[in-house]
Protein backbone atom coordinates (compact mmCIF):
# COMPACT_ATOMS: atom_id res chain seq x y z
CA UNK A 1 0.00 0.00 0.00
CA UNK A 2 1.32 3.49 -0.82
CA UNK A 3 2.36 5.51 2.22
CA UNK A 4 1.63 9.24 2.43
CA UNK A 5 3.50 11.41 4.93
CA UNK A 6 2.04 14.73 6.09
CA UNK A 7 4.03 17.44 7.85
CA UNK A 8 1.90 19.63 10.11
CA UNK A 9 -0.88 17.09 10.56
CA UNK A 10 -2.29 18.94 13.56
CA UNK A 11 -1.97 22.36 11.92
CA UNK A 12 -4.20 24.25 9.53
CA UNK A 13 -2.67 23.12 6.23
CA UNK A 14 -1.41 19.65 7.10
CA UNK A 15 -4.53 18.97 9.15
CA UNK A 16 -6.63 20.05 6.20
CA UNK A 17 -4.76 17.66 3.91
CA UNK A 18 -5.39 14.83 6.37
CA UNK A 19 -9.07 15.74 6.62
CA UNK A 20 -9.39 15.70 2.84
CA UNK A 21 -7.65 12.34 2.54
CA UNK A 22 -9.75 10.83 5.33
CA UNK A 23 -13.07 12.25 4.14
CA UNK A 24 -12.72 10.52 0.79
CA UNK A 25 -11.66 7.17 2.17
CA UNK A 26 -8.12 5.97 2.41
CA UNK A 27 -8.29 2.20 2.50
CA UNK A 28 -5.75 2.17 -0.33
CA UNK A 29 -3.25 4.33 1.61
CA UNK A 30 -1.18 4.30 4.76
CA UNK A 31 -1.20 7.83 6.15
CA UNK A 32 1.46 9.09 8.56
CA UNK A 33 1.70 12.49 10.22
CA UNK A 34 4.80 14.07 11.71
CA UNK A 35 4.49 15.11 15.33
CA UNK A 36 7.00 16.12 17.97
CA UNK A 37 4.92 14.34 20.61
CA UNK A 38 3.04 11.20 19.51
CA UNK A 39 1.39 10.90 22.92
CA UNK A 40 -0.21 14.38 22.74
CA UNK A 41 -3.98 14.59 22.59
CA UNK A 42 -3.81 15.94 19.02
CA UNK A 43 -1.67 12.98 17.92
CA UNK A 44 -3.93 10.50 19.71
CA UNK A 45 -6.92 12.03 17.94
CA UNK A 46 -5.20 11.47 14.60
CA UNK A 47 -4.58 7.87 15.58
CA UNK A 48 -8.28 7.29 16.29
CA UNK A 49 -8.96 8.50 12.74
CA UNK A 50 -6.60 5.95 11.19
CA UNK A 51 -3.52 8.15 10.86
CA UNK A 52 -0.17 6.93 12.18
CA UNK A 53 1.44 9.72 14.24
CA UNK A 54 5.22 9.52 13.82
CA UNK A 55 7.68 11.21 16.16
CA UNK A 56 10.06 13.59 14.47
CA UNK A 57 11.31 17.12 14.09
CA UNK A 58 11.98 19.05 10.88
CA UNK A 59 15.37 20.08 12.26
CA UNK A 60 16.48 16.58 13.33
CA UNK A 61 17.82 14.46 10.47
CA UNK A 62 17.82 11.11 12.30
CA UNK A 63 14.20 11.50 13.43
CA UNK A 64 13.16 12.47 9.90
CA UNK A 65 14.99 9.53 8.36
CA UNK A 66 13.19 7.13 10.69
CA UNK A 67 9.82 8.84 10.12
CA UNK A 68 10.21 8.75 6.32
CA UNK A 69 11.19 5.07 6.10
CA UNK A 70 8.90 3.39 3.57
CA UNK A 71 7.14 6.61 2.55
CA UNK A 72 6.18 7.04 -1.10
CA UNK A 73 4.88 10.62 -1.16
CA UNK A 74 5.05 13.51 1.27
CA UNK A 75 3.34 16.83 1.91
CA UNK A 76 5.70 19.51 3.22
CA UNK A 77 4.78 22.75 4.89
CA UNK A 78 7.50 24.77 6.62
CA UNK A 79 7.20 27.37 9.36
CA UNK A 80 9.08 30.67 9.60
CA UNK A 81 7.76 31.52 13.07
CA UNK A 82 10.32 29.57 15.08
CA UNK A 83 13.27 30.96 17.00
CA UNK A 84 15.44 31.01 13.87
CA UNK A 85 12.85 32.88 11.78
CA UNK A 86 13.20 32.39 8.02
CA UNK A 87 16.67 30.83 8.37
CA UNK A 88 15.06 28.08 10.41
CA UNK A 89 12.43 27.61 7.73
CA UNK A 90 15.16 27.23 5.11
CA UNK A 91 16.91 24.63 7.29
CA UNK A 92 13.62 22.75 7.80
CA UNK A 93 12.87 22.53 4.11
CA UNK A 94 16.38 21.67 2.98
CA UNK A 95 16.80 18.98 5.60
CA UNK A 96 13.40 17.49 4.74
CA UNK A 97 14.13 17.41 0.99
CA UNK A 98 17.58 15.86 1.47
CA UNK A 99 16.34 13.31 3.99
CA UNK A 100 13.30 12.41 1.89
CA UNK A 101 15.58 11.72 -1.05
CA UNK A 102 17.83 9.56 1.11
CA UNK A 103 14.80 7.67 2.47
CA UNK A 104 13.51 6.90 -1.04
CA UNK A 105 10.47 9.20 -1.09
CA UNK A 106 9.44 9.58 -4.74
CA UNK A 107 7.35 12.78 -4.66
CA UNK A 108 7.01 15.85 -2.45
CA UNK A 109 4.12 18.30 -2.53
CA UNK A 110 5.46 21.59 -1.16
CA UNK A 111 3.30 24.41 0.12
CA UNK A 112 4.99 27.64 -0.92
CA UNK A 113 3.32 31.04 -1.18
CA UNK A 114 1.76 33.07 -3.99
CA UNK A 115 4.28 35.55 -5.31
CA UNK A 116 7.34 33.65 -4.10
CA UNK A 117 8.95 34.12 -7.50
CA UNK A 118 8.36 37.87 -7.70
CA UNK A 119 8.21 39.21 -4.14
CA UNK A 120 11.62 38.19 -2.93
CA UNK A 121 12.08 41.35 -0.87
CA UNK A 122 9.80 39.63 1.67
CA UNK A 123 12.06 37.24 3.60
CA UNK A 124 9.38 34.56 4.00
CA UNK A 125 8.63 34.61 0.26
CA UNK A 126 12.33 34.49 -0.61
CA UNK A 127 12.79 31.46 1.65
CA UNK A 128 9.87 29.66 0.03
CA UNK A 129 11.31 30.41 -3.42
CA UNK A 130 14.75 29.07 -2.42
CA UNK A 131 13.07 25.87 -1.21
CA UNK A 132 11.17 25.62 -4.50
CA UNK A 133 14.51 25.79 -6.33
CA UNK A 134 16.01 23.16 -4.04
CA UNK A 135 13.07 20.83 -4.59
CA UNK A 136 13.20 21.25 -8.37
CA UNK A 137 16.93 20.45 -8.35
CA UNK A 138 16.57 17.45 -6.00
CA UNK A 139 15.75 14.85 -8.62
CA UNK A 140 12.56 13.95 -6.74
CA UNK A 141 9.10 14.21 -8.24
CA UNK A 142 7.55 17.43 -7.04
CA UNK A 143 4.42 19.53 -6.95
CA UNK A 144 4.61 23.11 -5.74
CA UNK A 145 1.49 24.98 -4.71
CA UNK A 146 1.43 28.69 -4.02
CA UNK A 147 -1.66 29.53 -2.01
CA UNK A 148 -2.49 33.11 -1.16
CA UNK A 149 -3.20 34.10 2.45
CA UNK A 150 -5.79 32.05 4.27
CA UNK A 151 -8.93 33.94 5.16
CA UNK A 152 -9.15 32.00 8.42
CA UNK A 153 -6.16 33.91 9.79
CA UNK A 154 -7.16 37.37 8.60
CA UNK A 155 -9.05 39.44 11.18
CA UNK A 156 -12.59 40.13 9.97
CA UNK A 157 -12.14 43.86 10.54
CA UNK A 158 -8.86 44.14 8.64
CA UNK A 159 -8.57 47.30 6.60
CA UNK A 160 -5.65 48.99 4.99
CA UNK A 161 -5.33 52.54 6.25
CA UNK A 162 -3.02 53.48 3.40
CA UNK A 163 -5.21 51.91 0.71
CA UNK A 164 -8.75 51.48 2.05
CA UNK A 165 -10.08 50.27 -1.30
CA UNK A 166 -7.26 47.81 -1.93
CA UNK A 167 -8.37 44.34 -3.02
CA UNK A 168 -6.68 41.32 -1.48
CA UNK A 169 -6.63 37.73 -2.65
CA UNK A 170 -7.49 35.13 -0.05
CA UNK A 171 -8.25 31.44 -0.06
CA UNK A 172 -9.82 29.01 2.36
CA UNK A 173 -7.38 26.56 3.90
CA UNK A 174 -9.92 23.76 3.42
CA UNK A 175 -10.19 24.40 -0.33
CA UNK A 176 -6.42 24.38 -0.76
CA UNK A 177 -6.17 21.20 1.34
CA UNK A 178 -8.70 19.35 -0.80
CA UNK A 179 -6.69 20.20 -3.91
CA UNK A 180 -3.44 19.17 -2.24
CA UNK A 181 -4.87 15.83 -1.17
CA UNK A 182 -5.79 15.12 -4.78
CA UNK A 183 -9.02 13.54 -3.70
pLDDT score of 19? 86
Instruction: 134-137: list long-range contacts, CB under 8 Å, 24+ apart.
Output: 134/93, 134/94, 134/97, 135/93, 135/97, 135/108, 135/110
pLDDT score of 83? 64
pLDDT score of 183? 45
Collapse the DSSP code of 4 into the 3-class scheme (helix H, G, I; strand E, B; otherwise coil) and give the result: strand
pLDDT score of 57? 92
In whole angstroms, how far apart are CA 20 and each of 26, 31, 35, 119, 176?
10, 12, 19, 30, 10
Domains: count for the chain: 1
State how far the Cα of 4 lies from the Cα of 92, in Å rounded to an integer: 19
pLDDT score of 174? 52
What does the pLDDT look like over 129-164, one tens digit per residue? 999 999 999 999 999 987 755 545 555 545 555 555
Instruction: 16-20: list long-range contacts, CB under 8 Å, 24+ apart.
Output: 16/173, 16/174, 16/176, 16/177, 16/178, 16/180, 17/75, 17/177, 17/180, 17/181, 18/46, 18/49, 18/51, 19/174, 19/177, 20/174, 20/177, 20/178, 20/180, 20/181, 20/183
**Contact present, 91 and 84 (Cβ < 8 Å):** yes
- Here the CATH number for the domain that contains residue 177 is 3.40.50.720
Intervals of the chain under pLDDT 50: 151, 157, 183
Expressed as residue numbers, the domain containing 145 is: 3-181
Amino acid sequence: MPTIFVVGGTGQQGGGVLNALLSHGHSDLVIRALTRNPSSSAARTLETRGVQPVKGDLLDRSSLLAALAGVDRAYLVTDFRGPEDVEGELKQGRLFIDTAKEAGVSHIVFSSVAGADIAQAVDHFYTKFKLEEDLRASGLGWTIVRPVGFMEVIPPTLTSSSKPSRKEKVSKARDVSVCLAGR
